[in-house]
Structure 1
Amino acid sequence: MSLKRVVVKPYDRYKFEVYEDFSYQIELKENEFISGVVPKGYTTDGASIPRIFWCFYPPYKSEYFSACVLHDYLCSRAMHETSIKEAYKRADLVFYKHLRLLNVNFVTCFIFYHWVDKFHKLKCYFKGWK
């Protein structure tokens, strides 16, 4: 499987716009894939990391930026799914798998995955989404 990186251009102070369609295919489990396209024109803020942690994990670091763009896209589409909670869970798993495909170190993958997973569980709990 070939892995390409997302191509973006500056959009606003802390936002980027996808410059060309970004297609992806990620294996979730053995012989179970998720694939699609992040369309040209989609805007993202990269990794939504609190500013206090930017010295450790810059939000625009090329090492994991493609995974962050894909995760943002899947999360934005979660609101249109039958089960928002399941859509977030799938987006978080895709995020983790994509980070691993990009050879991001295990500690960073672990921290990022568990942070977004806990955030989405709390968000679903407080909003009453199933």
Structure 2
Amino acid sequence: MTKAELKRVCVKPYDKDKFEVVLDYTFILPSFNGVVPKGFKTDGASIPRIFWSFFPPYRSEYFSACVIHDYLCERANSRKDYKLADQALKEAMLLLGCSKFKCFVFYHACNAFHFVKCLIKSK
């Protein structure tokens, strides 16, 4: 597999608290490769407002990882797809130099949310 590589995503403001990807965003992660297409719209990290002082949703430190995660989640159809998206988020955050603590918090928060979402959806 190709060496993991991750550059920063290029976005422009789209709407209040939303951004649009300006150029195709190619990412190479340890376990997954892909492209977020130009024109994809994201809200950054979907973090409850109460936690914004600790984890701002548009922080450049992890914003690119959140764009990848949003893109993969938008296309997810199963628990397996969400697991892949959550793993991609964790790998991207690590490649971007985020602390292991932040990676742990983001990964497990997303994973728990998607677990519950899939449980509810299947009923």
AA matched with 1:6: V
Q: Residues 9 and 25 of structure 2 are in contact (CA less than 8 Å); yes or no, is this contact kept in structure 1?
A: yes
Asked if 1:19 is matched to 2:13, the reply is no
Residue 46 of structure 1 aligns with which residue?
A: 44
Residue 120 of structure 2 aligns with which residue?
A: 126
Asked if 1:112 is matched to 2:106, the reply is yes
Q: Distance in 2 between matches of 1:99 and 1:116?
A: 13
Q: Distance in 2 between matches of 1:121 and 1:3?
A: 27
Unaligned runs of 5+ in 1: 29-33
What is the TM-score normalised by the length of structure 1?
0.89
- In structure 1, the residue corresponding to 2:8 is in which secondary structure? coil
What is the TM-score normalised by the length of structure 2?
0.94
* CA RMSD, 1 decimal: 1.1
Q: Distance in 1 between matches of 2:115 and 2:62?
A: 23
Q: Distance in 2 between matches of 1:3 and 1:98?
A: 7
The Cα of 1:36 is off from its aligned counterpart by 1.4
Structure 1 residue runs of 4 or more that deviate by more than 3 Å after TM superposition:
none
The Cα of 1:3 is off from its aligned counterpart by 2.3
Unaligned runs of 5+ in 2: none
Instruction: Note the 1:90-101 alignment, pairs <5 A.
Output: 90-101=84-95
- In structure 2, the residue corresponding to 1:37 is in which secondary structure? strand
Q: Distance in 1 between matches of 2:46 and 2:11?
A: 17
Residue 74 of structure 2 aligns with which residue?
A: 76
Report the number of matched residues. 120
The Cα of 1:113 is off from its aligned counterpart by 0.3
